[in-house]
């Protein structure tokens, strides 16, 4: 007949301390591993923005208002025109020679997004790349190309290095927190399993 194991206060304290150590160690390992992974994978994207505006040249107020409403109704179509391959091919011509070698029209299309606000005649051109200067040049090149692709368009603002925004991903802090949480969970399961196995 098997003897049941007696758990004394001393043994109980040892079990608690051992489990706490296991959980803390695995939590730390998880946090460090996730943090190092995120640090190795992180990359910085630079976003530059230029804009163009549609000019309404009608002088009479009634006709001008009607023309403005008609143009506002076309803004989504204008976004699609500026996002297409033909526009990107023309934008390539406005890039410096060294950038033309690095970006095809397909790569430009992937780096650029065109948006407009509701009830507005302004089209915002956003370029996002891993190089600050590239983003600025691309945003301005697409703005130049827009003047050849759309009727009655002029450049409203040009991208500069002063208004470029930068974002680094992934977030090391978020990965550290997630790694610590995963390590904590694994540590709890592991310590519980050891305790259960030894008590059998």
Distance set, CA 182 to CA 19, 27, 64, 196 (Å)? 16, 7, 62, 21
Return the pLDDT at 57.
63
Of the chain, the end-to-end C-alpha distance in Å amounts to: 14
The SS3 of residue 12 is: helix
Return the pLDDT at 63.
47
Residue 193's CB is within 10 A of a number of other CB atoms, namely 10
Tokens matching residue 95: 């890039």
Rg (CA), the chain: 30
User: 10-residue block means of pLDDT along the chain (200 residues)?
Assistant: 54 79 90 87 92 72 60 82 91 91 90 88 94 95 93 91 89 88 89 73
Burial code (b: 16+ CB inside 10 Å, e: under 16) for 119-151 equals: eebebbbbbbbeebebbbbbbbbbbbbbeebbe
User: Over the stretch 37-79, which tens digit does the pLDDT of each residue have?
Assistant: 888 888 899 999 999 998 866 454 444 566 667 677 778 888 8
Q: Write down all domains in the chain, each with its CATH number in brackets.
A: 14-41+170-195 (no CATH), 43-169 (3.30.1890)
User: Over the stretch 120-135, which tens digit does the pLDDT of each residue have?
Assistant: 889 999 999 999 999 9
Tokens matching residue 79: 């976004």
Return the pLDDT at 93.
92
Altogether, the residues listed in the chain come to a count of 200
pTM of whole model > 0.85? Answer: no
Q: What is the DSSP string of 72-130?
A: HHTHHHHHHHHHSHHHHHHHHHTS-HHHHTT--HHHHHHHEEEEE-TT--EEEEEEEES
Torsion of CA 98, 102, 105, 111, to 10 degrees: -110
């Amino acid at each position: 007949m098997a003897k049941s194991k007696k758990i004394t206060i001393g043994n109980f304290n040892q079990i608690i301390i051992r489990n706490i150590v296991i959980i803390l160690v695995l939590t730390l390992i998880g946090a460090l591993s996730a943090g190092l992974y995120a640090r190795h994978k992180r990359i910085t994207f630079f976003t530059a923005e230029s804009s163009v505006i549609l000019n309404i040249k009608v002088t009479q107020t009634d006709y001008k208002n009607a023309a403005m409403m008609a143009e506002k109704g076309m803004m989504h179509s204008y976004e699609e025109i500026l996002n297409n391959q033909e526009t990107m091919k023309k934008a390539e011509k406005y890039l410096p020679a060294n950038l033309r070698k690095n970006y095809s029209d397909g790569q430009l299309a992937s780096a650029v997004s065109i948006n407009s606000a509701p009830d507005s005649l302004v089209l915002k051109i956003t370029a996002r790349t891993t190089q600050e200067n590239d983003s600025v040049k691309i945003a301005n090149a697409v703005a130049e190309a827009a003047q050849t692709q759309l009727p009655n368009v002029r450049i409203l603002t040009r991208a500069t290095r002063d208004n470029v925004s930068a974002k680094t991903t992934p977030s090391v802090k978020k990965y550290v927190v997630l790694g610590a949480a995963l390590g904590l969970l694994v540590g709890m399961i592991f310590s519980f399993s050891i305790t259960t196995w030894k008590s059998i």
